[in-house]
Structure 1
Amino acid sequence: MKNTAVTLALSGLLAFTAVGCAVTRDQSTVGEYVDDATITTRVKAKFAEDPKVSAMAINVETLKGVVQLSGFAKSTAEKSHAEGIARATAGVRSVSNDIVVKP
């Protein structure tokens, strides 16, 4: 009985892996997708905790460990601070800072 449950669980996992899941363009594995989602979540959480950065005005996307920041900042200091937070986040390979400073 126990072996049957394990066999069924493994079969389901293999079927899931073979069929695929929500892997986006240019991502080669489910693991990369999960890692990128984790990085994005970590950066967004750090933004939400930091009073110097507007988490609602800055967007975060991650692809293969490269974080892209976009949106609007109130100052160049906020833009730089957001980039620093992203760079200091575990798993980030590089940061593309496309944040626009509002005039």
Structure 2
Amino acid sequence: MNFAERFMRFLCGFALLALVACAPTPQREGTGEYIDDTIITGKVKAALVADPDLKASEIQVETFKGTVQLSGFVQADHIPRALSLVRRIDGVKDVKNDMLPKR
């Protein structure tokens, strides 16, 4: 086996390893899903900021595989408004509400 042949085998093995390492699992998203979730998070944050009645700085947003999680301490009447706003955004598959009303 000459040097060129060994080098090609090394490159093929490395490429295979790179493809397997980027594969999504139920607990970890793939590269494409991560980019999609980042875009969804940006859309959600922009929508929350654009709503004059909501205090977007009080609502934390995280997205995993299209499921958006909203958390934070907000006024009680803002919770249903934020949830309905987020559900209308393209790409959002589900919304998980972890927001709690302020006392």
Fold shared by both chains (TM-score > 0.5): yes
Q: Secondary structure at the match of 2:52?
A: coil
State the match for 1:74 in structure 2: 75
**Superposition TM-score, scaled by structure 2 size:** 0.73
Where do residues 29-68 of structure 1 align in structure 2 (5 Å cutoff)? Answer: 29-68=30-69
Superposed CA RMSD: 2.0
- How many residues are matched? 84
Poorly superposed stretches of 4+, deviation over 2 Å: 18-21, 25-28
**Superposition TM-score, scaled by structure 1 size:** 0.73
Q: Secondary structure at the match of 1:33?
A: helix
Q: What's the offset of the Cα at 1:48?
A: 0.6
Q: Secondary structure at the match of 1:28?
A: coil
State the match for 1:7 in structure 2: none
Identical residues among aligned pairs (%): 43
Where does the alignment leave 5 or more consecutive residues of structure 2 unmatched? 1-14
Where does the alignment leave 5 or more consecutive residues of structure 1 unmatched? 1-14
| Structure (1 or 2) with the larger CA radius of gyration | 2
